[in-house]
Chain A
Amino acid sequence: MRRTWQGGYGPATNGRSRVITFDSVTKRYPDGTVAVDNLSLEAPTGQITVFVGPSGCGKTTSLRMINRMIDASDGQILLDGTAVQTIDPPTLRRGIGYVIQQAGLFPHRKIVDNVATVPFLLGWDKKKARDRAMELLEVVGLDPAMAQRYPFQLSGGQQQRVGVARALAADPPVLLMDEPFSAVDPIVRTSLQDELLKLQSELNKTIVFVTHDIDEAIKLGDRVAVLRVGGRLAQLADPKTLLSEPADEFVREFLGHDRGIRRLQFISAAGLRLRTDLTVAEDAFPADSDEPWLLIVTPDRRPVAWVTPRRPEEREPYGTFLHGKDNMRSALDAALLSPSGCAVAVDEDGKVVGVATREALDEALAEAADV
């Protein structure tokens, strides 16, 4: 389902994305604590910028200074060149979508009215606001029947989807997300992350996303700002650069030990050399093959199992990756799932395109390590 998001919703915004600029921003509390220390960076238009760091690094404070939930002590934050301090807070906030950890839904309002919150605030006609809310429920993958329920009747993951729908309701150009997925279980989190990426590929909002989870940062961020305790910027880079060239020991440690493996997810598996001569039909098994492993496929070329001529009666499991779409990490993962050590490339219909052998994977990994 594709939708177009060209403006037309509400007076505060025109659906156009905006650049957010932090210009030497400092937040100092009366007791002398410095939460954010001279932060300068840009969250570019239409991209996801992730603030990541340990607790106490000022990532949430930085986020909240954008919509003036907290005011900066020094420096300024600009929205398309306009200092946010010069904009009346309610007006500013109605033009900025906001998603928080516990969703923050209004318990006394039905889901549809929760989603329509900002359109109501902007004075939209009730019917138009609710129609828009229904549309958004569909966009975030919720059953329209949920519209008439109350928030507590939904699961955590569903509530979070409603939170995203609510943030998008007035089509704000900017979206702030404060650890939106950290309170849901890992499986739901993964699917919410995937859907955010899918939505973003259609919406092109300027998103600032706060998390303490470096994996989430690397998965979602076009740019990742690693902050250290005391609110200082340790590194700002795209995820691939972050993983291959951490700026210092702090960033290196924060990234964890398997950053080499994680880097593979930024390398496409499309370049893998595939062999097409390793598949056989179930009943056409050759007795005298020199290959250590062969892949049995159905007549319409779907994978069935690996088999080795040494033990022709044993069927061994296989792992697949999506040809042309998946990255090297998925391909390697697929290879490790099978005793054959080979990864099966399939097309979108699940039909076998070819097989990446250990040799092919080795070549690709050597190339990746070379970067």
Chain B
Amino acid sequence: MSDGPPTLWEWFARNWDTGRVGSISNLLSDHLVMSLVPIVAALVLSLPLGLACVRFRWLYQPTSGLMNILYALPSLPIFMLLISVTGLSQTTVIIPLTFYAMAVLIPSVVDGLGAVPDHVRQSAVAMGFTPVRRLVQVELPIATPVVLAGLRVVAVSSISLVSVGALIGQGGLGMLFTRAYQNPFLPPVIVGIVGIVLLALVADGLLVLAQRLLTPWVRARRAS
């Protein structure tokens, strides 16, 4: 062992799995939970809300207005507000990230459903689709590419935003930055940045793959 400061790789290997809370592997899994839960929750919430906004047009303006305001609110005061309810927990990070994701996804769902051509909707009605079946088998599949595009933005931004949670001690890989703040030592910062970027790339890649599998008709259209 040399006497100087550890190299990047040495530091990484030593801290990957120390069995303690702050080990890199634990931070990574925290990061995954705090970014995936908002993505999934936002999708689950945005679908019915988006549908409601399409069904009742008057609902869309106030909903998107409210979502934009939530999006504009800085995360720190929201954390402060939530700490009194949910404490210094992951939930305190997950809730605002879910709202941020919804601010992107609700318009995606509305735009996606708006992209269903009127003659397609009409012909579905004329073929004898019931409203629910039409939604599930015709309108949602046609809306999928637009929703997935929104989901890609949301996935990458959520993964990146989790690090802000470090302010309340719940930042996943973002925690590595705060350590460097106290002690000017670069390896944790680099591991944190690379980890987050890799995570974002993997998530985006998986979504692109999902897009190809779910909407082969879109890919074929580009090819033609």
Q: Which residues of A contact B (CB under 8 A)?
A: 67, 69, 89-96, 98, 100-109, 117-118, 121, 150, 152-153, 166, 176
Q: Does B91 have its Cβ within 8 Å of any Cβ on chain A?
A: no
Q: Among the listed stretches B155-163, B203-211, B215-223, which one makes contact with chain A, having 4 or more residues with CB under 8 Å of it?
A: B215-223
Partner of A93, one of B117, B127, B142, B221: B127
Contacts of A121 in B (CB 8 A): 127-129, 133
The reply to whether B224 and A107 form a contact with Cβ atoms under 8 Å apart is: no
Chain A, interface SS category: mixed
Q: Are A98 and B127 in contact (CB under 8 A)?
A: yes
A104 and B128 contact, CB distance less than 8 A: no
CB of B50, distance to nearest CB on chain A (Å): 18
A100 near B123 with CB under 8 A, answer yes
- A150 touches which one: B117, B127, B138, B220 (CB < 8 A)? B220
Contact status A100-B224, CB under 8 Å = no
Q: Within 8 Å CB of A93, what residues of B?
A: 125-128
- CB of A94 within 8 A of CB of B127, answer yes
**Which B residues are closer than 8 A to A by beta carbons?**
117, 119-120, 122-130, 133, 138, 141-142, 144, 215-217, 220-221, 224
The answer for the CA separation of A91 and B130 in the assembled complex, in Å, is 9
Q: Which residue of A lies closest to B126 (CB)?
A: A98
Complex interface: chain B residues within 8 A of A69 (CB): 122, 125-126
Which 5 pairs of residues, A with B, have the shortest CB-CB distance?
A: A104-B123, A94-B128, A93-B128, A98-B126, A104-B119
With both beta carbons as reference points, the residue of chain B lying nearest to A91 in the complex is identified as: B128
Q: Which of B120, B125, B215 contacts A106 (CB 8 A)?
A: B120
Whether the Cβ atoms of A67 and B129 lie closer than 8 Å is: no
In whole angstroms, what is the CA distance A69 to B130 when docked? 13
Smallest beta-carbon distance A286→chain B, Å? 61
Q: Once the chains are docked, how many angstroms separate the CA of A80 from the CA of B124?
A: 25
A67: nearest chain-B partner, CB-CB: B126
Q: A90-B129, A95-B128, A150-B216 are in contact. List 6 more A-B contacts (CB 8 A).
A: A69-B125, A92-B128, A98-B127, A103-B119, A108-B138, A121-B133
Contact B124 A102, beta carbon cutoff 8 Å: no
On whether A100 and B127 interact (CB within 8 A), knowing A108-B215, A150-B220, A153-B220, the answer reads no
Instruction: Name A172's closest neighbour in chain B (CB-CB).
Output: B128
A108 and B217 contact, Cβ closer than 8 Å, known pairs A152-B224, A153-B224? yes
CA distance A106 to B134 in the complex (A): 11
Partner of A98, one of B123, B141, B220: B123
Q: In whole Å, how far is B115's beta carbon from the nearest beta carbon of chain A? A: 10
Complex Cα spacing A102 to B122, Å: 11
